[in-house]
Amino acid sequence: MRHLLRDDDLSPAEQAELLALAARLKADPFGHKPLAGPRTVAMIFDKPTLRTQASFAAGIAELGGNPLHVNGDLAQIGVRESIEDVARVLGRQAAQIVWRTNDQARLDTMAQWAGVPVINALSDDFHPCQLLADLLTVTERKGHLAGLTAVFIGDGACNMGNSWLLAGATAGMHVVVSSPEGYQPAAGIVERAATIGQSTGGTARVEADLARAVAGADVVITDTWISMGKEAESSARLEALQPYALTGEVMAMAAPDAIAMHCLPAYRGKEITAELIDGPDSVVWDEAENRRHAQKAVMAWLQEQAGAAR
């Protein structure tokens, strides 16, 4: 049973296949109905969301399926009953399970017991659906991925930093994370990305010096400095990460045709300036739209992998 729990669950060939499928589904949004029946896809959100719940619900409907919102507050997964029991119950109702939760281990347990594909809709460690949408967006703007340099600036120890390292290296990109001490990705993630890059031509590294990191970059990415669950650290984070704000001055150090990315929600005047996110270098609204197309590709592909029996 295949799942999408982290970015390196996909081989380079599979990632390319999914991105090509996403582009086809975007061009013909109502012409593919692999969830016809309709098959139900259960969506559970233990953490706040706008884009993810909207894009999955719309995408499931476009694929001919039935989006089932399971209220995470009511289900209290792991409190009211075990993840194993929830997985076995939902696996009898749904063809796939989409889950946004905290610990990656919770997703691993759901995948082990559900008997149907499980999709990570953001965990503390990874955001693989966002990365497929982002890579689709970069492809639309640049025509290709391999060989491009993508620089993630700010809180590099967050799920988006981790996912850019793994997914970018899988795509053959040169991924640089520029963050201060204490906000850099775990060495194991950087090493994993570098290992992936050995077969794709991609590279992965941390560069604390922002100017050196961004020089000549094709893509510059940031994310909120206060990820979900980090609210108690707000003041310390704002002070430590302020020098790594994504501004017009930072973009001026990148390639002349560089694009600025942010998965949203954004906090103007903090991790990114209003002028930049609302300006011509920004592709954030394309990223938000492409969540639907990329996730449709994931669900269609997983349904095919699982077989159409359910």
Provide the binding-site residues for ligand CP, judged by CB under 6 A.
49-52, 122, 130, 263-265
Question: Which residues are tagged catalytic?
Answer: 100, 127, 130, 223, 263, 291
Nearest one of 212, 210, 134 to 170, comparing CA atoms: 134
CB of 49 vs ligand CP, minimal distance in Å: 3
Nearer to ligand CP, 206 or 266 (CB): 266
Q: At what angle do helices 83-93 and 104-114 cross, to 10 degrees?
A: 50
Nearer to ligand CP, 49 or 247 (CB): 49
CA 97 to chain centre: 17
Nearer to ligand CP, 210 or 221 (CB): 221
| Separation between Cα atoms, residue 14 and residue 158, nearest integer Å | 25
Nearer to ligand CP, 133 or 176 (CB): 133
CB of 195 vs ligand CP, minimal distance in Å: 27
CB of 264 vs ligand CP, minimal distance in Å: 5
CB of 293 vs ligand CP, minimal distance in Å: 15
Chain residue at closest Cβ approach to ligand CP: 52
Cis peptide before 38 (omega within 30 of 0): yes
* Share in percent of the chain as helix, strand, coil (round to 5): 50, 15, 35
Give the DSSP H/E element, type plus range, for residue 68. strand 66-71
Nearer to ligand CP, 130 or 290 (CB): 130
Strand-pair category, 40-45 with 66-71:
parallel
CB of 239 vs ligand CP, minimal distance in Å: 25
Strand-pair category, 118-120 with 203-206:
unpaired
Alpha helices (H) along the chain = 12-27, 51-62, 72-75, 83-93, 104-114, 128-142, 159-170, 187-200, 210-214, 234-241, 248-253, 274-277, 284-306
